[in-house]
Every structure is written in C-alpha cells, then in structure tokens.
Amino acid sequence: MPQIDTSKVSRWDLHGRAYVVHIQRTGTRRTVRCATCGWHSGARFLPWLKAQEHLAQAHQATVDPSNRRVPSARPPVPDH
Ligand SMILES: [Zn+2]
C-alpha cells in the first residue's frame, strides 16, 4: 500500500486568525490543500513554499506561529 504522510504549514494573519495548509505526499506527488478556502495545487518541489505563498496572497497570513519575534502578531486567545 502507498505510504501517505502529511504535514502542514500554519500561519496567522495580523488579526491572530490561524490558517492551515496541509501537504499530502503520495509517492512522488505532493498536493497542497488549504483548509480554509479549499484551494489546492500539486507541487513537485517545495510544497511548503507554495503553501506559504498561498497563505500570504489569499489570506494575508504571513505570521509564522513558531516564530514569535513578529511584534504585531498576537497568538490566538487560549480558551480556559
Ligand atoms: Zn486558502
């Protein structure tokens, strides 16, 4: 059976909304799919780059949540 492994790229916009693009790999094919708007595209190389590009252009989501150095970025409010 084919090996399927998925990863994802998540970005926040400046309002703290989170967007996720899933990257699915089946064999040598990679598909990137936006969980927010349903956009998807095939990518042979650098699917992460393609995902970031989509997030930036379609959603203005350019804030990397793993990189807290962006001063205007605010993390989503955790529910408690
Ligand atoms: Zn999208």
Distance of CA 9 from the midpoint of ligand 1 (Å): 12
Residue 77 has pLDDT above 80, yes or no: no
Q: What pLDDT does residue 71 have?
A: 56
Q: 1 alpha carbon to ligand 1 midpoint, in Å?
A: 30
Contact 63, 12 (CB under 8 A): yes
Q: How far apart are CA 73 and CA 57, in angstroms?
A: 18
The pTM of the full predicted model, rounded to 2 decimals, is 0.74
pLDDT digits (tens, 9 = 90+) for 15-29: 999 999 999 988 888
Q: Which residues surround ligand 1, an ion (CB under 5 A)?
A: 34, 36-37, 39, 58
Instruction: Give me ligand 1 centre to Cα 20, in Å.
Output: 8
CA of 25 to the centre of ligand 1 (A): 19
Predicted confidence at residue 21, as pLDDT, reads 96
- Which pair of tokens denotes residue 30? 């990679």
Where b means 16+ CB within 10 Å and e means fewer, 16-52 reads eebbebbbbbeeeebebbbeeeeeeeebeeebbebbb
Question: For 39-73, how does the pLDDT look when each residue is reduced to its tens digit (9 = 90+)?
Answer: 999 988 889 999 999 999 999 999 998 876 555 55
Has residue 3 got a pLDDT over 70? no
